[in-house]
Structures are given as structure tokens and as C-alpha cells.
């Protein structure tokens, strides 16, 4: 037995994470990692118990890797977005908690439609598409992703959600920069959601993003907007008149992305929205104008 309660070991882990500065919410993540090691929800951790040596060694190793910037989801193997858990790991982007606002805005836009048609461009693990399929059971949801490694996660996540009773999403290996991608849906889609890679390629980002996650999921060319411009183009052709685009972007793009949408000329009602935690610009919402 190793001396010290689990509570004390979690305090140590918080200190280690705080020292390296790699983790924004050290206490929450220290608890999540402990819950992962002991196979219980955070609320059921036996804080006053003394962990066995082997579990403690595993815990410390995970805390160490997290302090080096390895994403929490890569260590636990899962992440949750809008109440839907997805498998994640090396090779796929870990959904950001702030993106729940993007999904919520999309769900709000289709709330009155009994059978909406939805497209998730740059789908990664499929988190956006699967969250919409779960919360809008009448929706038909398509998701496009070009990276085969990411798509493999999305396929497994799709299968798991379908087994739990959600309508299966349609996964497409495709490049959102190509006009042929989902061309059969042109002019018919009610909602396009997208979180493309949006960091400028020279941006100094934490190792969690710049080192550990796939570059093509994080960086979007010199100004960060290379894929975003194509997503705007794709949304303009896919959406029906009155259909909605919800487009996540970097906090440095709170003016440029709405300006891009206004300059395009095919969108109306362009609005900009902050994230719910830090108040940074997070996503733009726009409606497809009538031709
Ligand atoms: C920031 S991640 C977002 C994934 C997911 N929506 C999420 O929030 O977890 C961006 C994704 O876009 C994909 N991607 C980048 N360029 C693409 C392209 N041209 N066509 C399709 N997918 C692309 C990347 O592989 C990555 O999975």
C-alpha cells in the first residue's frame, strides 16, 4: 500500500499539472484521470481510501503524460460532446467542450423541422454529426472527413451510437474543398455545421494541438482560413434558401469570418457568437439567401 489518500494524490497531480501549465483545468482533469484509472465516475471516487501501488503508478504516469500536453481524450480514449460520448485517440481531433455551443446553435436552427437534412463538414471523430443525430432523431445527417485515420474513429463511433438507438449518420470520405463533394445534395440541405482546421500555420499553439493532434485537423494554411473559405463555398452550394450555416473559427477570426460570409453575397443574417467559457469569438451563423 502506498501512503496517502487518493485525495492527497489528486492534490499532488493538480500541482504537477499547474507547474507545467499545459492543462487549463488541472483539478477537473486530475479527477477525470483518477476516475479513468479506478473505473468509476468522478462522483464515486473513494477519496479517503489509499490507492494500491499499481493503480497509483498508472495514475502518475497518466498525469505525467497529460502534463506533457497529450490530450486528455487520448489518455482516457473518449471525449464527450453535447452529452454524446465518442471514442478518440491518436490520429483524430479531440472535440472541444466549447464546440457544444456550435452544436446547440445548429440544433436550434432545425428545431422546428420534423425531418431536417444536415451536413457536418470536416467531421473528425463524427462528434458534431452524432450529437445532432442523437438530439434531433428525425434528422438525416451526413458527415464528410478526408483523413482515413479520423474516419476510422468516426465509423466506430457511428456503429456505437447506432447500437444505442440513434439513427446512423452517413459517413463520407471526401474533401470539402472539392465541388463534387456531396454535390447530389446541392440546394437541399437545412443545416451545415463545420469546425474546420483554423489555426494559422505559424500560430504558437499549446503542444496539445501543435504536437499531439493531427496537423491537418489544427492548421488551416497561412491565415488559418484555407479550409474555412472552402467550407463557405460548400455551404453556399449545399444549403437550400433559408438554410443555416454554423461555422466554428479561431478566436482571432471573430471579424474575418463574418466578413467573409458577408462578402460572399450568398448569405444573409450573418451573426457572430462567443464561446460560453472565456467569451472569445467562436462561431459565425448565417442563412443562405434566396438566389
Ligand atoms: C478541428 S477538426 C474538427 C473535427 C470535429 N468536428 C470535432 O470538433 O471534433 C477538423 C477536421 O477536418 C478534417 N479536414 C481538414 N481538411 C479537410 C478537407 N479538405 N476535407 C475534409 N476534411 C478535412 C481534419 O482531418 C479534421 O478531422
Mutation probe of ligand 1 site: the residue of 122, 133, 144 with most atoms within 8 A of C-beta: 122
- Atom in ligand 1 nearest the alpha carbon of residue 198: 1
Q: Looking at the domain that runs over 82-288, which CATH code has it been given?
A: 3.40.50.150
Q: Is 199 in the pocket of ligand 1 (CB under 6 A)?
A: no
pTM reported for the whole predicted model: 0.95
Per-residue pLDDT at 21: 85
- Atom in ligand 1 nearest the alpha carbon of residue 120: 6
Report how far ligand 1's centroid is from the alpha carbon of 244 (Å). 19
Burial class from Cβ neighbours inside 10 Å (0-12, 13-18, 19+) for residue 60 reads middle
> What residue spans define the domains of the chain?
6-68, 82-288
Report how far ligand 1's centroid is from the alpha carbon of 122 (Å). 3
**Each residue's pLDDT tens digit in the chain (291 positions)?**
457 999 999 999 999 999 988 888 899 999 999 999 999 999 999 999 999 999 999 999 999 999 999 999 999 999 999 999 999 999 999 999 999 999 999 999 999 999 999 999 999 999 999 999 999 999 999 999 999 999 999 999 999 999 999 999 999 999 999 999 999 999 999 999 999 999 999 999 999 999 999 999 999 999 999 999 999 999 999 999 999 999 999 999 999 999 999 999 999 999 999 998 889 999 999 999 998
- Atom in ligand 1 nearest the alpha carbon of residue 147: 25
Q: Is 76 in the pocket of ligand 1 (CB under 6 A)?
A: no
Per-residue pLDDT at 2: 55
Protein residue with its CA nearest to atom 23 in ligand 1: 122
Protein residue with its CA nearest to atom 9 in ligand 1: 95
Protein residue with its CA nearest to atom 14 in ligand 1: 122
Report how far ligand 1's centroid is from the alpha carbon of 218 (Å). 8
Per-residue pLDDT at 1: 44
- Atom in ligand 1 nearest the alpha carbon of residue 79: 9
CA distance 122 to 131: 15
Listed in sequence order, the residues at least 6 apart from 286 whose beta carbon sits closer than 8 Å to its beta carbon are 244, 245, 247, 258, 261, 267, 268, 269, 270, 271
CA distance 7 to 210: 32
CA distance 243 to 118: 10
Amino acid at each position: 500500500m502506498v501512503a496517502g489518500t487518493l485525495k492527497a494524490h489528486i492534490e499532488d497531480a493538480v500541482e504537477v499539472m499547474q507547474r507545467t501549465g499545459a492543462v487549463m483545468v488541472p483539478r477537473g482533469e486530475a479527477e477525470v484521470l483518477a476516475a479513468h484509472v479506478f473505473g468509476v465516475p468522478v462522483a464515486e471516487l473513494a477519496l479517503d481510501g489509499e490507492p494500491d501501488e499499481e493503480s497509483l503508478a498508472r495514475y502518475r504516469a497518466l498525469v505525467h503524460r497529460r502534463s506533457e500536453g497529450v490530450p486528455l481524450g487520448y489518455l482516457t480514449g473518449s471525449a464527450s460532446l453535447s452529452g454524446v460520448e465518442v471514442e478518440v485517440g491518436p490520429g483524430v481531433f479531440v472535440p472541444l467542450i466549447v464546440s457544444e455551443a456550435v452544436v446547440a446553435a445548429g440544433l436550434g436552427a432545425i428545431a422546428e423541422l420534423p425531418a431536417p437534412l444536415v451536413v457536418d463538414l470536416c467531421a473528425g471523430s463524427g462528434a458534431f454529426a452524432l450529437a445532432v443525430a442523437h438530439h434531433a432523431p428525425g434528422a438525416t445527417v451526413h458527415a464528410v472527413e478526408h483523413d482515413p485515420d479520423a474516419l476510422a474513429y468516426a465509423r466506430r463511433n457511428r456503429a456505437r451510437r447506432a447500437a444505442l438507438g440513434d439513427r446512423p449518420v452517413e459517413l463520407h470520405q471526401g474533401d470539402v474543398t472539392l465541388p463534387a463533394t456531396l454535390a447530389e445534395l446541392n440546394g437541399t440541405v437545412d443545416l451545415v455545421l463545420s469546425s474546420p482546421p483554423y489555426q494559422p500555420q505559424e500560430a504558437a499553439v499549446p503542444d496539445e494541438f501543435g504536437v499531439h493532434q493531427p496537423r491537418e485537423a489544427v492548421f488551416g494554411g497561412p491565415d488559418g482560413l484555407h479550409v474555412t473559405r472552402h467550407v463557405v463555398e460548400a455551404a453556399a452550394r449545399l444549403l437550400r434558401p433559408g438554410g443555416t450555416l454554423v461555422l466554428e473559427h479561431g478566436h482571432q477570426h471573430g471579424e474575418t469570418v463574418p466578413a467573409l460570409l458577408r462578402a460572399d453575397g450568398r448569405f444573409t443574417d450573418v451573426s457572430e457568437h462567443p464561446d460560453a467559457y472565456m467569451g472569445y469569438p467562436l462561431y459565425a451563423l448565417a442563412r443562405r439567401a434566396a438566389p
